[in-house]
Amino acid sequence: MTHPYPPRNLFQRLIKPRFYGIDPRFTQIAPFVCTLPERFEAGEGQVIYEGRNVLRQMEYEGLQLVVKSFTRPYIVNRLAYGTVRGSKAKRSFLYAQAFQKIGVGTPTPVAWLDQRNGLLLDKSYYVSLLSACPYRYEVFFEQSFPCMEKVLRAIGRQTALLHEHGYAHKDYGRGNILFNFFPDGTVQLEVVDLNRMHIGRIGLKEGCKNFCRLPATEQMHRWMAEEYAKARGFDVETCYQLIMTYRHADKGPEEY
């Protein structure tokens, strides 16, 4: 159901301007995007995560959407994001588009919106389609999955693809890799939380270090290392040892 929200008057538009971008495939969603602050304030949708940021599942014109509301940044970043830098919402949108172009899975990007207060960024919102992947990487430590090896090998290949194109996710952790598996044995992966990214040349050591936030047993590390090394032309054993070393340095000697 679409809730009516009155249009903002000229004074509101001048004092608190809004800027947004919409993927060309979803231009019909503009009225929804433009009223995101009011929709969040009214409590529209279902909360699916609430912490520093808030994620809500919403429906509009038959589309199942996930909207991420980013917390208001610190004052210095409010000025930077409001004038010279893209907001986290805008960056998430652009990175998602770039990922899909190179063949890396991520929920389909729909739109972003920035609410400013004068020159300061006040709030920002990122909209994507609801992911079709029901599982997160962390589920491997909660229940048994016969597809675990295939998923981990796919993660190794996906990470190599990202690095070959110069992208390294700065929060490549257990909660930000989604997956699904199908009766024919195929695996679907999606990466989320894309607002923090390293851009540039990623060599052997930098690439292996990017796995450090993924908990794993030695065997899990080896599956990922084998596929990552093969995809990038690196030595498998060297990759495996580096991934293990960086993981233990980051989290200690525990396996998980």
Whether 63 has a pLDDT exceeding 90, the answer reads yes
Q: What is the pLDDT of residues 117-164, one digit of tens each?
A: 877 888 999 999 999 999 999 999 998 888 999 999 999 999 999 999
Domain with CATH 3.30.200 in the chain: 10-129
DSSP output for the chain: -PPP-PPPPHHHHHHS-EEEEE-GGGGGGHHHHHTHHHHHHTT-SEEEEESSSEEEEEEETTEEEEEEEEPPPPHHHHHHHHHTS--HHHHHHHHHHHHHHHT---PPEEEEEEEEETTEEEEEEEEEEPPS--EEGGGGGTS--TTHHHHHHHHHHHHHHHHHTTEEETT--TTSEEEEE-TTS-EEEEE---S-EEES---HHHHHHTTTTS---HHHHHHHHHHHHHHHT--HHHHHHHHHHHHHHHH-S---
Domain with CATH 1.10.510 in the chain: 135-251
Whether 253 has a pLDDT exceeding 60, the answer reads no
Q: What is the mean pLDDT of residues 57-66?
A: 97
Pick from 3-7, 90-94, 159-163, 209-213: least confident: 3-7
Q: Specify the CATH class of 10-129 in words.
A: alpha beta
Q: What is the pLDDT of residues 42-55, one digit of tens each?
A: 999 999 999 889 99
Tell me the pTM: 0.90
pLDDT number for residue 3? 53
pLDDT number for residue 256? 40
Q: Which residue has the higher pLDDT, 236 or 121?
A: 236
Q: What is the mean pLDDT of residues 201-222?
A: 96
Q: Which residue has the higher pLDDT, 9 or 166?
A: 166
Report the CATH fold assignment for 135-251.
Answer: Transferase(Phosphotransferase); domain 1 (1.10.510)
